[in-house]
Amino acid sequence: MNGREGRDERGAAIVWALALVWVLLLVGFAAAGVTAQTIARQRAATAADIAALAGAQGLGDPCVFAERSARANGMALASCTIEGSDVTVEVTAPPPAVVGRLLAVLGRDAPPVSATARAGPPST
């Protein structure tokens, strides 16, 4: 006797295969969300750098130039401060759609993506 008499294990492989498919799907969606969020943060950081440089180089109101630059890069200018000849900007953008959907499944709101940058003349 092998101890397996009376047990019917037909169909067990399908159950395990379906469980594995669900796990792989969840890991795939999580990886897609992390990747999308990382790319969005990098885009926001780049847009903030460009907006700060535009504000520091512009003739006139630096915040107007920073706002135009941020908008041209798909971001919104959240704040702009001028300290001496330095311009500090913060830009924001809505979260990536995939992140919003993933967090909506969990019943949470996705936070906006934001970045801050400072630019000014070189120090001597």
pLDDT (mean) for 35-47: 93
Locus of tokens 């890991």: 27
86-93 and 76-83 beta bridge pairing = antiparallel
73-95 pLDDT, tens digit per residue, is 999 999 999 998 899 999 999 98
Per-residue pLDDT at 2: 58
Cα–Cα distance for residue pair 99/108, rounded to 1 Å: 10
How does residue 108 score in pLDDT terms, banded at 50, 70 and 90?
A: confident
Instruction: Check residue 12 and give its pLDDT.
Output: 85
Q: Give the residue from 54, 60, 72, 64 showing the smallest Cα distance to 117.
A: 54
Burial of 38 (0-12, 13-18, 19+ CB in 10 A): exposed
Q: What pLDDT does 62 receive?
A: 92
